[in-house]
A and B are shown apart, each in its own frame.
Chain A
Amino acid sequence: MSPEEISALLASAVRNATPLAFAALGGMFSERSGVINIGLEGMMLGSAFAGVAGAHFSGSTVIGLLVALAVGLLLGLLHAAATITFEADQIISGTAINLLAVGATGFLMVQLFGSGGTSPRIDRFASIAIPGLSDIPIIGPPFFNQSALVYLLYLLVPVCFYVLFRTPFGLRLRAVGEVPEALDVAGVSVVRMRYTGVGLSGMLAGLGGAFLSMSLLSAFTENMTGGRGFIALAALIFGRWSPVGAFAAAGLFGLAQAYVFSGPGLAIPQEFVEMFPYLLVIIALVGFGGRAIPPAALGKPYRPE
């Protein structure tokens, strides 16, 4: 490969990895608090639509992003209310949110834009070259000539790490996903911690969705997430429920996707490259290279006796 080709492949990898990494970080806050979130896909899709609708009707991309965040939060809180307050099954609620997002965005496409398919175009987040860093040969442009949302992600990874592992809030969040009884005894509200975790997960997944429709593309198309929420889930598990691990796994899976998109004449068929994240997760779960072990209370509703 020529340096230009490597640079283009890496740029595509970063763009493909970004929505996965946002959603995987989101999944981390939910699952670390003990709530399984297979609704990431739906939260991404809902926010992808909301961002475009917000930007279209306000004329401002930034307002669009805020609307996307709000809808992500709303879907997160819906999952929280269903599973924490009403004790609905976490897997079922996640599946319901995925279905709800497909139905609601399809419905609103017809209501707001007259037909399904593709929304009107909006102004997307433009690429911003960071002076100096973007001039580094080969790796400069792919990493440092991207949209503001990519830089936000670079910022969020260490922030998430710090919050999760170096603050009292993070300690409580992790504890609530491992031994909720202990937190309850210590006077911390399990319910409030889990609502916070799941709400944050909705917002972060929402950022991932907004990146798809407002940065990677500049419009919403029906079902545009195309399973990325599930790849994010795979990145989260393969990254051992940690911010840096999830980010690295998202990067790896983004690179695989970039390889698929890089055109015909692939040495490995596209379908097999697309299987790769899912196969890696299965391998990680059965224990090759250090078994991936979920938070101890993941999936268990908390009922104080």
Chain B
Amino acid sequence: MTAQLQAIGRALIFPAIAIILAFAVGAVVIVATGNNVIAAYGALLSGGFGSFQSLGRTIGNATPLIFTGLAVAVPFRAGLFNIGGEGQLFIGAIAGVAVGLLLPGPGPLVIIAAIVAAGLGGWLWGAIPGLLKVFGAHEVITTIMLNFVAINLAYWLARNPLAGEGLVPGTNFVPDPVRILRLSSGLGAAHYGFVLGIVAAIVAYLLIWRTTKGYEIRAVGLAPGAARYAGMSVAANGFLAIALGGMFAGFGGGLEALGTFGKVSVPFVSNLGFNGIGVALLGRNHPAGVVVGALFFGGLAAGAQQMQFATGVPLDLSDVLLAIVLLFVTATKLVELLIGRRARSLEAGTKLEGGLAG
């Protein structure tokens, strides 16, 4: 037990240092613009977690990030870097809304079909870079490129075959019975997608740490040579992991569209996929960490609004804070410098060490 706690403690060194550094830099920025640090950070905290309303905003922000965080964390365990969460989320969103709009039937069944379609769409979109990898195209590049293909494809669908009648470009709203229910009126726009996010994180954990397939995925990620020697297929497991990642992002997109917005508008959301990378790294690519990371990101975004309202510090500061966290969360040498010993053993493979030419 103590060994386990020590392991958790070591795992938290990187995120803790990154967060402390970010808030220290943020404090300097706040002072430099003539504001009070305690007032600003106080408003940030209470705006993120201080009331049911702010908690609702935090949960609402965190919901898609849990999914896009898992979209990074799961492939990472197989040694693959999925930068494609953004595109996989868009494919999931448009697939979910298409089913929600076009499939007749009782609401609950249509909701389930729409969510399945979202996951399936994301799975397929995640499978493409998995397949391209076999032909020698590195997933870092293909997933980045496929993001923009996906976004444009989703927008074309939303503006043409699925175009709605409203003035805002995009699809129609899905019928009310197909909308994901809100958690509670006190929690604002937060919907049951959050609960599904927690379920998804648990499923991801069980899949990766409690099944034979998950063991293979981790083995392939940690020691591809040894795994191959033991008869496991590096390519097949990598393919499975990145397709699963795509599925999670697809679910996230579907739930965001069916829950928060009820439609896919043009433009739709931005950077939820890219922020999932930060969420996953902050959570050390562990499903539990992903949930915590998503709540941190979501809370920061929610709190920033209150900070701007209460103190006049522009809410964009939250993006700056997140950027600094991201900049340092994998900085091995910085951590070594600060804790005074070698930290390479602590990183648990948070990096793309093999290079792109591979």
Contact = CB atoms under 8 A, between A and B. Distances in A.
A300 B152 contact: no
A162 to B, nearest CB: 26
B253 to A, nearest CB: 17
B41 to A, nearest CB: 16
Question: In this complex, which of A104, A274, A275, A301 has the most chain B Cβ atoms within 10 angstroms of its Cβ?
Answer: A275
B227 interface: no
B43 to A, nearest CB: 16
Contacts of B281: 92
A82 B137 contact: no
Contact of B314 (A96, A110, A299): A110
A97 B323 contact: yes
A227 interface: yes
A189 interface: no
A130 interface: no
B136 A291 contact: yes
Contact of A299 (B145, B320, B326, B356): B356
A58 B177 CA distance: 58
Interface residues on B, range: 35 or more
B330 A233 contact: no
Interface string B314-342: 10111111111011111111100000000
Interface in B334-358: 334, 350-357
A304 interface: no
B316 A106 contact: yes
A137 B35 CA distance: 59
Nearest to A223: B270
A89 B136 contact: no
Given A234-B145, A300-B354, A100 B320 contact: yes
A140 interface: no
A220 to B, nearest CB: 14
B316 A103 contact: yes
B317 A107 contact: yes
B142 A285 contact: yes
Contacts of A105: 316
- Interface of A, secondary structure class, is helix
A274 B155 CA distance: 11
A9 interface: no
B141 interface: yes
A234 B149 CA distance: 12
Of all A-B residue pairs in the complex, the 5 with the closest CB atoms, nearest first, are: A103-B319, A106-B316, A100-B323, A285-B137, A96-B326
Interface in A7-50: 36, 38
Question: In this complex, which of A93, A104, A282 has the most chain B Cβ atoms within 10 angstroms of its Cβ?
Answer: A282
A117 interface: no
Interface of B: 29, 33, 81, 83, 132, 135-138, 140-142, 144-149, 152-153, 155-156, 159-160, 271, 274-275, 277-278, 281, 314, 316-324, 326-334, 350-357
Contacts of B81: 91
A278 interface: yes
Contacts of A134: none
B228 to A, nearest CB: 21
12 contacts: A78-B327, A89-B330, A92-B326, A95-B278, A100-B320, A104-B316, A107-B316, A107-B317, A272-B152, A279-B145, A282-B145, A299-B354
B169 to A, nearest CB: 12
Contacts of B354: 299-300
B277 A271 contact: no
A88 B319 CA distance: 19
A266 interface: no
Contact of B327 (A88, A271, A282): A88
Given A97-B323, A294-B357, 13 more contacts: A36-B140, A78-B327, A92-B330, A93-B326, A93-B327, A93-B330, A99-B319, A100-B323, A107-B320, A109-B314, A285-B135, A296-B357, A300-B353
Interface of A: 36, 38, 78, 82, 85-93, 95-100, 102-107, 109-111, 116, 227, 230, 233-234, 237, 269, 271-272, 274-275, 278-279, 281-282, 285-287, 291, 293-301
A211 B326 CA distance: 29
Contacts of A279: 145, 149
A252 B219 CA distance: 43
Given A82-B327, A82-B331, A103-B317, A281 B152 contact: no
B63 to A, nearest CB: 20
A286 B328 contact: no
A92 B277 contact: yes
A249 to B, nearest CB: 13
B316 A87 contact: no
A107 B160 CA distance: 36
A222 B333 CA distance: 34
Contacts of B322: 99, 103
Question: In this complex, which of B33, B83, B142, B148 has the most chain A Cβ atoms within 10 angstroms of its Cβ?
Answer: B148
Contacts of B350: 89
A88 B332 contact: yes
Contacts of B132: 282, 285-286
B357 A91 contact: no
B136 to A, nearest CB: 7
Given A82-B327, A87-B333, A96-B324, A293 B357 contact: yes
Contact of B352 (A86, A91, A272): A91
Contacts of A299: 140, 352, 354-357
B162 to A, nearest CB: 13
Contacts of B29: 107
Given A96-B324, A98-B274, A285-B138, A298 B160 contact: no
B274 A95 contact: yes
A285 B277 contact: no
A86 B328 CA distance: 8
